[in-house]
Amino acid sequence: MLIRIALAAALVAVGVSAVVAQQDPIAARKALMKLNGQHGAALSKILKGEEPFDAAKVEAGFAQWADTAAKFSALFPDSSKTGETRAAAAIWTDRAGFDAAVAKFAKDVADNRAKAATLDGLKAAMPIIGKNCSDCHQAFRNPS
Ligand code: HEC
């Protein structure tokens, strides 16, 4: 019974977020990126020694990044070129390049997810992940 309720709630949540993404893709993609940033900041604190290593936080970050990578490309319909967005025109003029950047992010997250389960592994993985963030922002996000 509990499982069925939880499943129903999860299905409703998925349905709602899909509708929101269709109605307001700019808000949806910015919300995903905001979460990317929050997880990145949390893991940076671990790397700087400001917070103790916490495998659950690491896994939560990688899970969020994987989720973002899976959803991101679909959130740039032609109708979302303008508005409250820093998405660069290059996303639409070089769609293949943008999709390749998303795919590389997805692959680097998947390849490093298990390796990051120790502090040394996280230290090795974070620069690889972080380069995806900065490379894509440089090519496909307008300066603020
Ligand atoms: C494949 C491209 C790509 C990758 C990879 C990527 N980003 Fe982004 N990011 C964008 C784009 C495009 C925007 C602008 C979205 C908009 O304004 O519509 C953005 C916006 C943001 C924002 C601002 C969100 C807001 O509230 O407006 C943050 C924070 C951010 N990204 C963090 C990250 C972090 C951290 C990573 C790596 C873990 C990352 N991004 C990886 C393309 C990317």
Long-range contacts of 14-23 (CB under 8 A, 24+ apart): 21/71, 21/74, 21/75
Q: Which of 95, 141, 142 to mutate to test the pocket of ligand 1 (most atoms within 8 A of CB)?
A: 141
Give the residue, by CA position, lying nearest to ligand 1 atom 20. 33
- Average per-residue pLDDT in the chain? 91
pLDDT for 17 equals 63
Segment 73-98 shows an average pLDDT of: 97
What does the pLDDT average to over 108-135? 98
Position 61 scores a pLDDT of 98
